[in-house]
Amino acid sequence: MNLRGTTRVLGIFGDPIAHSLSPAMQNAAFGKAGIDAVYVPFHVLPGGLADAVAGLRALNILGVNVTVPHKEAVLPLLDEIDPEARLIGAVNTIVNREGRLCGYNTDGLGFLRSLAEDLQFQPAGKRVLLLGAGGACRAAVVALARAGAAALSIANRTPERGEKLVREFSDHFNGTRFAACGLEPAVLDRMAADADLVVNTAVVGLKGDSFAYFPWTALPPAACLYDMVYGPGGTALVSEGRRRGMRCADGLGMLAGQGEEAFRLWTGSLPPSGVMKNRLLAEMKPLPEP
């Protein structure tokens, strides 16, 4: 990497941040595209977020991604919020336009791109069951509804959280039917019975844990499964789905897709095709035995 006075700086704010794969995939894309830029991780504690955001202007940093726990807290610190990010209630990408900081959320577009590339799935007219009702679910709901999904059902351990999302988004997307439920087996079976796609938006599976109950036998034979969690060798949920003959994908494609869209916002063009995902796949390969 040839750093010089003309090199533009980008990065990612998070706490923790050492685990992030974004520097690897973004730097691979900048190198392949021949763009004079470098992407670095910034460990930003919650108490330092306002100073870190102000530093983007002071240091003329071109832009950053924003990850947990800052996606919601960063909104009032920016000069402009894209309507999509405002609706989701979270920002994951900041662009510095001559000192004016503009916030976007590229998670939804990354999710849709991964559905198309990894599952050959188009949401228009389809019925989707979402597991979880947190921030990842909000991004997925907005993306799916904008893409024309016929019905979205949100299943969560605390049904009230899903019901809150239903009330909020029903007013914005009249063409999509919304429903919410808990995780009781009988209820979940009923919701899964006509689903074209099941999406895990919860953190279950992040550390190798599994769902207490998953409606495998209730799902239609042609249903697809998308797990926003990712890891080396895939997730337990995806492995079980594939064993059952389902079309499945984990969240690695979404990570690449949202990164590609952030790259476009910063540079004005998409990165070379496949570079980010291929770098992520290389990073995910298990280390050889000593």
**Burial track 174-195 (b if 16+ CB lie within 10 A, e otherwise):** eebebebbebeeeebeebbeeb
Residue 27 annotated in ligand binding: no
* Catalytic residue IDs: 71
Task: Find out whether 238 and 250 touch, Cβ atoms under 8 Å.
Answer: yes
- DSSP strand E in the chain: where? 8-14, 37-43, 63-66, 80-81, 93-97, 100-104, 127-131, 151-155, 177-181, 197-200, 224-227, 247-250
Residue 189 annotated in ligand binding: no
Residue 120 annotated in ligand binding: no
| 247-250 and 224-227 beta bridge pairing | parallel
For the packed helices 252-267 and 107-119, what is the interaxial angle rounded to 10 degrees? Answer: 130
Residue 230 annotated in ligand binding: yes
Distance CA 62, CA 7 (A): 10
Residue 99 annotated in ligand binding: no
Residue 116 annotated in ligand binding: no
Residue 279 annotated in ligand binding: no
Residue 159 annotated in ligand binding: yes
Residue 156 annotated in ligand binding: yes
Residue 210 annotated in ligand binding: no
**Which residue ranges are tagged as binding site?**
20-22, 67, 92, 107, 132-136, 156-161, 228, 230, 251, 258
**Sequence ranges of the binding site for shikimate:** 20-22, 67, 92, 107, 230, 258
Binding residues for NADP(+): 132-136, 156-161, 228, 251
